[in-house]
Amino acid sequence: MPTSARDIGRLFLPLSGVVLIGVIWFAASQSVPDLPSPIKTWNESKSYVLQPFDKRGEMDQGIGRLAYYSLVRVSKGFLLGIALATPLGLLLGMSPTLHRMLDPVIQILRPISPLAWLPLGLVVFRKSEPAALFAIAVCSMWPTVINSAAGVRAIPHDYWNVATVLRLSRFTTFTTIVLPATLPYIFTGYRLSLGIAWLVIVASEMLTGTPGIGGFLWQEYNSLIYAHILLAIITIGLIGFGLDRLMGLAESRLRAA
């Protein structure tokens, strides 16, 4: 069977990128004494990867279990975030007054790091779990707010004219025009928000020491098992990539519809 040059390129080029990173990693591990090489990392992480759902202790669990804890926490925080962000964004898009009033606040809140929100969450909620959810929600909501608002503002003037000429009620205008027209923008916001939520989870687990992929990473650093840090980093990256792909799929289906 003849394989075209494009097919080779599609598979070969990304693979060679991965290999290249592996080589750089290996070279670095030869000069930095504490950095484990790829082979050492694999040997020390095998049991976590091959028995992903084993539970040997509070922090000593298979990588699948740890990832599961983190994913559940991220889902809760993310859902809480978009549940607040979507209506807020739509309102900001529909009301120029509200937009002028709240835009500066949003621009100031947006760049605040999760590491800054978490202690505030701990002060207010006194427990690590709600504090983590608070940090995830409050950090991840902004892309959804900004995109939903932009989506409403991007609704073609013609559609507003149709709503006016047909004398549609506010409710009907919202359900038949505003929402369908804005949906692709909202989902772009969700995708970006989920990415941020996943970034925040690691930081919040590291600070609160709750079981999960980030908590594991910090604990293994304290226990001087550096190979597991790399294992955790690779896992975080792979899961983040998977989540983004999933949201991307949902988004493109919406655009096609």
The stretch near another protein (CB under 8 A) out of 46-54, 93-101, 107-115, 162-170 is 162-170
**3: which DSSP letter?**
P
**Which residues share a beta bridge with 55?**
61
Q: Which residues ranging from 225 to 254 are in contact with another protein (CB under 8 A)?
A: none
The stretch near another protein (CB under 8 A) out of 17-25, 44-52, 67-75, 168-176 is 168-176
| CA–CA distance, 161 with 180 (Å, rounded to integer) | 16
Q: Taking CB under 8 A as the rule, does residue 174 contact another protein?
A: no
Q: Taking CB under 8 A as the rule, does residue 180 contact another protein?
A: yes
Closer residue to another protein in complex, CB, 71/168: 168
Can you read off the two tokens belonging to residue 116? 């800054």
Residue type, 186: I
Q: Taking CB under 8 A as the rule, does residue 162 contact another protein?
A: yes
| CA–CA distance, 124 with 117 (Å, rounded to integer) | 11
Closer residue to another protein in complex, CB, 224/257: 257
Judged by CB under 8 A, which of 1, 13, 165, 224 binds another protein?
165
State how far the alpha carbon of 152 is from the alpha carbons of 88, 121, 136, 165, in Å.
Answer: 12, 32, 25, 19
Q: Which residues ranging from 125 to 154 are in contact with another protein (CB under 8 A)?
A: none
| CA–CA distance, 46 with 41 (Å, rounded to integer) | 8
Closer residue to another protein in complex, CB, 93/211: 93
The stretch near another protein (CB under 8 A) out of 29-37, 42-50, 164-172, 200-208 is 164-172
Question: How many chain residues bind another protein (CB under 8 A)?
Answer: 16
Closer residue to another protein in complex, CB, 182/210: 182
Q: Taking CB under 8 A as the rule, does residue 167 contact another protein?
A: yes
Q: Taking CB under 8 A as the rule, does residue 16 contact another protein?
A: no
- What DSSP letter does each residue of 39-70 carry, written as one string? HHHHHHHHHHHHSTT-BSSSS-B-HHHHHHHH
Task: Give the Cβ contact number of residue 11 at 10 Å.
Answer: 11
Q: Decide if 148 contacts 186 (C-beta within 8 A).
A: yes
Half-sphere exposure of residue 210: CA atoms within 13 angstroms, side-chain side: 21
| CA–CA distance, 141 with 237 (Å, rounded to integer) | 21
Judged by CB under 8 A, which of 16, 164, 223, 252 binds another protein?
164
Which stretches of the chain bind another protein, using CB under 8 A?
Answer: 158-159, 161-162, 164-169, 172, 176-177, 180-181, 257
